[in-house]
Amino acid sequence: LLERVIWGGEGKGGRQEGDGHDQASRQPPSPISSSSSTSTTSLPPLSAEKTAECVYYLSTYGHTSDLVVFYLRSGSVHEAVQLLLSTNGTSLPSLREAASKAIEYGKLEAFVDAFLSTPIHKKNVKRSLRYLGSALGALKQDYYLYKVQSALTDVLGMGLTSFAMFEHATSFASASKWIGESKRCLDEALLRCQRLSLSTRGDMEGEVERGGRRGGSGKGEEEGEEEEEGGEEEEGIGCA
């Protein structure tokens, strides 16, 4: 499809009028897949007209993954990320595939930065970053995984990833940097766990104390009722 759209052929001019065929009567071309014979290298610079034509064909006849691949190949990384975030493409398999294509086309840094530049409070962003981190971990992209974990403030993950980069460091300076970062992050993770443990224990003690107060109050009321009943019985005996 891209070959016909970009370099000419029968598929060119999908929006032209007067071709004697209604759009509904056109046969949709086969969707692009990873096994397609189309070249996997980056596309040459395209004019705005040809880019719009490609987007039209892929939006009409293709799948979301096809359009994402086209955006990545043509260098429109921001558009690819926004398309992923605006659809149901924010799943682990789709992000792993997109990240793999970004590596293949040499666009991984721009791909990750486009995700990180999107405000994390927006819909799907936080979940997508978690999936992206999992995908980058599976693809052995530790440096970019660390950047994603930093955006999520996942200090435990940052510590483990830093240690992995320490193990693969090729210089003393790099090794010193990453082992120090690993220690800092793991210390912070331990401190957070301790704070959470103290907070949880404090909440439990508070619940026990409040329960004891309620139990004591109920017991006092029962004793008062028993004393009143005993007094009434004594009065009855005296009258008799």
Q: What would the pLDDT profile of 29-46 be if each residue is shown by its tens digit?
A: 444 444 343 445 666 777
What confidence score (pLDDT) does residue 13 get? 44
Confidence of residue 213 (pLDDT cuts 50, 70, 90): low
**162 and 124 share a domain?**
no
What confidence score (pLDDT) does residue 141 get? 94
Lowest pLDDT segment from 88-102, 137-151, 215-229: 215-229
Give the mean model confidence (pLDDT) for residues 218-237. Answer: 56
Closest CA to 30 of 60, 73, 1: 1
What percent of the chain stands above pLDDT 70? 65
Element (H, E) at 48: helix 48-61
The pair of structure tokens assigned to 15 is 């929006």
Q: Look at residue 190 and tell me if it is in a domain.
A: yes
**68 and 169 share a domain?**
no
**109 and 2 share a domain?**
yes
In this predicted structure, the answer to whether residue 199 has a pLDDT above a threshold of 50 is yes
**122 and 210 share a domain?**
no
Confidence of residue 240 (pLDDT cuts 50, 70, 90): very low
pLDDT, tens digit, for every residue of 74-108?
A: 888 999 998 888 875 567 788 888 999 999 999 99
What confidence score (pLDDT) does residue 167 get? 92
Q: Look at residue 3 and tell me if it is in a domain.
A: yes
Confidence of residue 142 (pLDDT cuts 50, 70, 90): very high
Confidence of residue 217 (pLDDT cuts 50, 70, 90): low
Which own/partner contact pairs does 42-46 have at CB distance under 8 Å and 24+ positions apart?
42/73, 42/74, 42/75, 42/105, 42/106, 42/107, 43/2, 43/6, 43/70, 43/73, 43/74, 43/75, 46/6, 46/74
| Cα dist from 120 to 82, 117, 141, 152, whole Å | 13, 8, 21, 9
Q: Look at residue 182 and tell me if it is in a domain.
A: yes
**57 and 100 share a domain?**
yes
In this predicted structure, the answer to whether residue 112 has a pLDDT above a threshold of 70 is yes
**114 and 186 share a domain?**
no
Closest CA to 75 of 51, 97, 100: 51
Domain count, the chain: 2
The pair of structure tokens assigned to 90 is 């924010």
Give the mean model confidence (pLDDT) for residues 66-71. Answer: 90
**159 and 137 share a domain?**
no
Q: What is the DSSP letter of 185?
A: H
What confidence score (pLDDT) does residue 75 get? 87
Give the mean model confidence (pLDDT) for residues 124-146. Answer: 91
| Spatial separation of the C-alpha atoms in residues 217 and 209, rounded to whole Å | 12
Residue 104: domain span: 1-11+47-150
What confidence score (pLDDT) does residue 90 get? 62
Which domain-ending residue is among 113, 134, 150? 150
- H helices present in 26-141, as ranges: 48-61, 64-73, 77-86, 92-104, 108-116, 125-138
**206 and 128 share a domain?**
no
